[in-house]
Amino acid sequence: MESHTHADPHAPIEEMPEGPDYFDVLQMAIREILVEKGLIGADEVRAMIETLDAHEPAHGSALVAHAWSDPAFKERLLADGTAAIKEFGIDNYDGTQLIVLEQTTDTHNLVVCTLCSCYPRPVLGLPPDWYKSRPYRARAVREPRALLAEFGTHVPDDVTIRVHDSNANMRYLVLPMRPEGTDGWSEEQLAELVTRDAMIGVTTARKP
């Protein structure tokens, strides 16, 4: 069973776009116009790029490991992701709302941005190329089970797949299920099991 917002035409995930797409060109043009008109400075643009580069999936991995280790924090994270990451010390510099989705034995969550490539950058850093590709954005909503299988994630037929579409104001982060056999592990050890792809929902956490 799959649950999603809308579907796009079929396209294989292997087909990657050549060069920048429409949204890449648009954002570059807008940035250049803003700099030219003096509304923002080149130094501001450079500072934001440095901020983006400084954030990486390790922030999210540590966040997930802490949620696995602290039930009270996990509850706060699921109730209000935006407030919880601030509590954890992550700078939510883009001001968007963060919603955290918990993987369960009954539900598998998958994140996509069908319109462009909205992504929880404060937590995960820069998005991978495949996340921004048209094939991924199309197939995530049209045939998520087949798409996940190509990532090596085989979701049983009795598990519901829910596809969540990010937008300019709202981002999603997947909280993977904690692997069995990790009782007594430190947060540093647990974080090693949490990959970027697991926090998007295309894979699960590594097994110990």
Amino acid identity, position 128: P
- Give dist(CA 198, CA 102) in Å, integer: 11
Catalytic residue status for 113: yes
**Residue from 61, 118, 133, 166 carrying the catalytic annotation:** 118
Point out the catalytic residue in the list 3, 61, 69, 113: 113
Looking at residue 175, its amino acid is L
**Tokens (6 digits) for 109:** 């969550």
- 117 carries an active-site annotation: yes
Catalytic residue among 3, 61, 69, 116, which?
Answer: 116
Instruction: Give catalytic status of residue 118 as yes or no.
Output: yes
Q: In the chain, which ranges are continuous DSSP H helix?
A: 22-36, 42-54, 57-69, 71-79, 81-88, 121-124, 129-132, 134-142, 144-150, 187-191, 196-200
Of the candidates 61, 117, 133, 166, the residue annotated as catalytic is 117
Q: How far is CA 177 from CA 4, 15, 62, 106, 153, in A?
A: 21, 30, 14, 11, 14
Residue with token string 């580069």:
53
* Whether the Cβ atoms of residue 121 and residue 111 lie closer than 8 Å to each other: no
Which amino acids are annotated catalytic?
Answer: 113, 116-118
